[in-house]
């Protein structure tokens, strides 16, 4: 009997390991490498575990199967040079923001929001991607997050103007949700303010790339500020982040992965300038029972600062944060 139990246990452990996109011994593993110089900016996880990745310089959204390690083009957006933030607004339907380039910054009045229905896309519908709104007053829309009490309303981080917009994905109406000095950038050398935004327990957490900080603010059900904006951690170079259920943040940026406790204690888990996470831009934990502890990270391949002097294709990485802590 003991030998039978041991055999079953060994089989289950083996099966679980094979189900994960990395082996138990590997802390950081490459799931997919995109063609050279492809900048992957953001990601969202479907309920089936497949991962949607947006690309800045391809103005496209891709789907990656992390178990088969394959990538498929879902859509290339018209009237845009960049596909940026993404968030789920309905069951298996996602809001994506895009913009056009004007030199090295976003072109005025070029921001748009689209809805991508993945169920319709899988069935070959020609209406799987629809325009939600022309966000003509928005500067550079980067981070997108859904309001928990009304998923059809989203908040959009405007890095150029340093404000957070609220968008109704049904009507296309939008207005300013939060404006605060801590959302704006402080140096013209890094003209990016609020960047990544995510909500946990009625608090909006955010990164400010130009100011080098991570903060939060209590919000109302409709996404307006319900209290003062607070700084949690400073002296980092953050892009985006993922939140654990206990409020611990895993922040990516500058080829570095930081762990920030709810009290603001900062630990470097990888980096700085780590080639294994070269040009890390965004992070998201898995959604299925198999991969909920896996931190998925996307990269730009080092376009903003190659570690080895060479720009590579952006990547999707699977990170076992427990092995790095």
140-165 pLDDT per residue, tens: 999 999 999 988 899 999 999 999 99
Q: What is the pLDDT of residue 11?
A: 35
Q: What is the pLDDT of residue 23?
A: 52
Q: CB within 8 A of 137, min separation 6: which ones?
A: 109, 174
Residue 239: closest CA among 84, 33, 114, 131 = 84
Instruction: Tell me how crowded residue 160 is: count the other CB atoms within 10 A of its CB.
Output: 21
For 17-45, give the secondary structure using H, E and C.
Answer: HHHCCCCCCCCEEEEEECCCCCCEEEEEE
Q: What is the pLDDT of residue 98?
A: 98
CA 87, 90, 94, 95 dihedral sign is negative
pTM above 0.75, yes or no: yes
Q: What is the pLDDT of residue 220?
A: 97
**C-alpha span between 99 and 105 (Å, rounded):** 10
What tokens appear for 136 in the block? 């003509």
Residue bearing tokens 């070029």 = 110
Residues in the chain where the model's pLDDT stays below 50: 1-19
Q: What is the pLDDT of residue 21?
A: 54
Q: What is the pLDDT of residue 310?
A: 75
Q: What is the pLDDT of residue 25?
A: 59
Q: What secondary structure letter does DSSP report for 221?
A: T
Q: What is the pLDDT of residue 210?
A: 96
Domains of the chain by start residue, with CATH: 25-324 (2.120.10.30)
**C-alpha span between 198 and 324 (Å, rounded):** 23
Q: What is the pLDDT of residue 95?
A: 98
Contacts 24+ apart (CB under 8 A), 56-65: 56/81, 56/82, 56/83, 56/84, 56/300, 57/81, 57/82, 57/303, 58/83, 59/83, 59/98, 61/86, 61/96, 61/116, 62/34, 63/118, 64/31, 64/32, 64/316
């Amino acid at each position: 009997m003991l030998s039978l139990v041991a055999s079953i246990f060994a089989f289950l452990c083996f099966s679980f390991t094979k189900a994960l996109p990395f082996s138990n011994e590997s802390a950081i593993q490459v799931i997919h490498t995109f063609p050279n110089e492809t900048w992957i900016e953001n990601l969202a996880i479907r309920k089936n575990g497949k991962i949607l990745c947006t690309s800045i310089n391809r103005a496209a959204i891709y789907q990656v199967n992390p178990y088969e390690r394959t990538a498929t083009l879902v859509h290339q957006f018209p009237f845009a040079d960049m596909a940026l933030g993404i968030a789920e607004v309905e069951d298996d339907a996602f809001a994506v923001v895009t913009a056009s380039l004007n030199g090295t910054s976003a072109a005025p009045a070029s921001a748009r929001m689209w809805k991508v229905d993945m169920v319709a896309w899988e069935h070959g519908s020609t209406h799987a991607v629809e325009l939600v709104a022309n966000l003509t007053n928005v500067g550079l829309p980067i981070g997108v997050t859904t309001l928990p009490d009304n998923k059809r309303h989203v908040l959009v981080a405007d890095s150029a103007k340093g404000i957070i917009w609220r968008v109704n994905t049904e009507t296309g109406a939008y207005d300013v949700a939060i404006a605060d000095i801590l959302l704006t950038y402080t140096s013209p050398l890094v003209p990016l303010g609020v960047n990544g935004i995510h909500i946990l327990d009625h608090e909006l957490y955010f990164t400010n790339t130009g100011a080098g900080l991570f903060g939060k603010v209590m919000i109302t059900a409709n996404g307006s500020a319900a209290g003062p904006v607070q700084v949690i951690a400073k002296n980092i170079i953050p892009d985006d982040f993922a939140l654990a259920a206990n409020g611990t943040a895993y922040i990516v940026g500058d080829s570095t992965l930081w762990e920030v406790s709810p009290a603001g204690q900062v630990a470097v888990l990888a980096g700085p300038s780590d080639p294994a996470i070269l040009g890390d831009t965004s992070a998201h934990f898995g959604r299925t029972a198999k991969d909920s502890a896996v931190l998925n990270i996307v990269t730009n391949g080092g376009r903003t600062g190659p570690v080895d002097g060479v720009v590579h294709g952006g990547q999707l990485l699977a990170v076992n944060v427990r092995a790095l802590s």
